Amino acid sequence: MISVGIDVSKGKSTVCILKPYGEIVCSPFEMLHVEKELDALDNLLNRPDGEIRIVMKATSIYHPPVLTFLHKKGYFVSVVNPYTMKKYAKGNSIRGAKTDRLNSIMMANYGIEKWFRLQRYEGNEDTYAELKLLSHRYRYYMKLHVKALQELTHILDYVMPGIKKILNSWNESNVKDKLSDFVERFWHLDLITSMSLEKFTQEYLV
């Protein structure tokens, strides 16, 4: 019975390997998420005798690369919900400053205590994980879009005070951004600034 706790973070993980009763097989060490170091972990896990089970906490976009590597190698990997791990830490009076080393030890201990109740990752969550990643990227680009729109609105208000009252920023009927369409069509601001806003809207926007 060998439990491997992996605390995954951005670009690297901290790994701890334990046996029952707190026997340390390998003290916590850092591992970069690169092929060379993942292969080194695979070689390390092939040395000890006994069944190996790996525990890691779900961390959105950070854990899938390590999980995929270990899963393809045929290891028993259990991905634990962060809330479950938090409750475990609280129940075992693990308090104070938390470090990656302590987290990896805690996860390895969790694997020992919950050995027969660990759920093995079967790879049927690949689509779900990909959708979560795409959703994360979508929210990121939407944030960029909103920021660019705010800057655009600020410029338009400076050049043509009152334009926001004439053009709402979002049209629910056709799901289009009016201000962006407006600037794309009438990009030559010399034309706009050479006449009054009222005259321009009468001639071009009606």
Instruction: Say whether both 134 and 199 belong to one domain.
Output: yes
Question: Residue 187 has what pLDDT?
Answer: 60
Q: pTM for the complete prediction?
A: 0.58
Look-up of token digits 């369409």: 181
Instruction: Say whether both 69 and 137 belong to one domain.
Output: no
Q: Are 66 and 4 in contact (CB under 8 A)?
A: no
Instruction: Say whether both 134 and 197 belong to one domain.
Output: yes
8-state DSSP, 194: T
CATH number for the domain harbouring residue 74: 3.30.420.10
* 107 φ/ψ angles, rounded to the nearest 5 degrees: -65, -40
Residue-wise pLDDT tens digits, 180-204? 677 677 666 544 554 455 555 555 5
* Half-sphere exposure of residue 134: CA atoms within 13 angstroms, side-chain side: 6
Question: Residue 125 has what pLDDT?
Answer: 59
Of the residues 106, 124, 142, which one is the last residue of a structural domain? 124
Q: Are 67 and 78 in contact (CB under 8 A)?
A: no
Instruction: Say whether both 95 and 196 belong to one domain.
Output: no
Of the residues 109, 124, 139, which one is the last residue of a structural domain? 124
In this prediction, residue 171 has a pLDDT band, given cuts at 50, 70 and 90, of low
Instruction: Say whether both 136 and 92 belong to one domain.
Output: no
Of the residues 102, 124, 146, which one is the last residue of a structural domain? 124
Instruction: Say whether both 110 and 145 belong to one domain.
Output: no
Instruction: Say whether both 107 and 69 belong to one domain.
Output: yes
Instruction: Say whether both 58 and 139 belong to one domain.
Output: no
Query: SS3 string of 113-168?
Result: HCHHHCCCCCCCCHHHHHHHHHHHHHHHHHHHHHHHHHHHHHHHHHHCCCHHHHCC
Instruction: Say whether both 110 and 141 belong to one domain.
Output: no
The answer for residues whose C-beta is within 8 angstroms of residue 16's C-beta and 6 or more apart is 4, 5, 24, 26, 27, 28, 101, 104, 105, 107, 108
Instruction: Sort 59 into a burial class: Cβ within 10 Å, 0-12 / 13-18 / 19+.
Output: middle
Instruction: Say whether both 59 and 145 belong to one domain.
Output: no
Residues 158, 88: Cα–Cα separation, whole Å: 56
| Number of domains into which the chain is organized | 2
Look-up of token digits 């670009």: 11
For residue 55, give its domain range: 2-124
Instruction: Say whether both 137 and 110 belong to one domain.
Output: no
In this prediction, residue 4 has a pLDDT band, given cuts at 50, 70 and 90, of very high
Instruction: Say whether both 144 and 50 belong to one domain.
Output: no
